[in-house]
Structure 1
């Protein structure tokens, strides 16, 4: 009899914890998009006002960045320095897949937008690069605004549905 209660409590707690985890992933995605936005603003400013090359920009920004951005930019610089024949766009896209995709809560659409923005880095003139980054910043800001607006509602929904699912399993089993 006690085993049933312990098992039921375990299932309900597991449902609650999975809801918190899904909610946490949602909030992490929002925070990570904001971090990417901040980094792109820095890159844009360095290119526009300091007229710096991308290797220098990525190295400088990675020193002041945290989390996944630091690892991403360091990996891009390392791959660029290790092989001079590679295009920056190829290195950028590979590292989005390798560093960003595996270490963040970003969705496929976020990653594709980041890759698209990187496709014009280093191969076009300064103004085109800046315009492309500004377009990306507008896209990412729309996504951040949407996530912010829905944050409370979705987080509460994720937690509630997961808890109810745990209760449903308990009711079904008992």
Structure 2
């Protein structure tokens, strides 16, 4: 009898934890978007006030930010330093491709980041600043959507895990 109760409790708890894992994915997406926006603000300050070259700026920013966004910026800096005849856009795409699994972003959000790569190293400071501002605005909209989606789905997935585990226990016993 006690063994059945312990097994039932474990099944319900495991199902609840599975629901929490899905919630963590939504929350990680929000954190990544916040970090990317922060990184772009830091980049703008580095370029405008520090007159720092692209590779050094992204290396410094990558060290300051948390994973996986810090890794994305640091990888971009590494690809730029390696050269190999790649443009800044190609280096950005390579860094994005490498970091894509850890970022937990949707395809639309990844497309915004890919478009952001076209701003690196082209035109004057003002033109780059306008391009980055536009991308920041798009990322802020994506962040608001991600926050709303996270809030909406947070309780849903936790309750779904709990109810699913309880249903499974009822079917088994």
TM range (shorter): 0.7 to 0.9
2:53 alignment counterpart: 53
C-alpha separation between the residues in 2 aligned to 1:82 and 1:143? 32
In the alignment, what sits opposite 1:78?
Answer: 78
- In 1: Cα distance, 2:145 partner to 2:76 partner: 30
Larger displacement relative to structure 2 (104-113 or 20-29): 104-113
CA distance in 2, matches of 1:29, 1:52: 29
Mapped to 1, the partners of 2:11 and 2:116 lie a distance apart of 44
Superposition pairs for residues 80-95 of structure 1, below 5 Å?
80-95=80-95
For structure 1, list consecutive stretches of 5 or more residues without a partner in the other structure.
Answer: none
Equivalent residue number for residue 97 of structure 1: 97
What aligned pairs does 1:64-75 form with structure 2 within 5 A after superposition?
A: 64-75=64-75
Residue 117 (structure 1) shift: 0.8
- After TM superposition, the score normalised by the length of structure 1 is 0.86
* 4+ runs deviating over 6 angstroms: none
Aligned residues: 173
| Structure 2 counterpart of 1:143 | 142
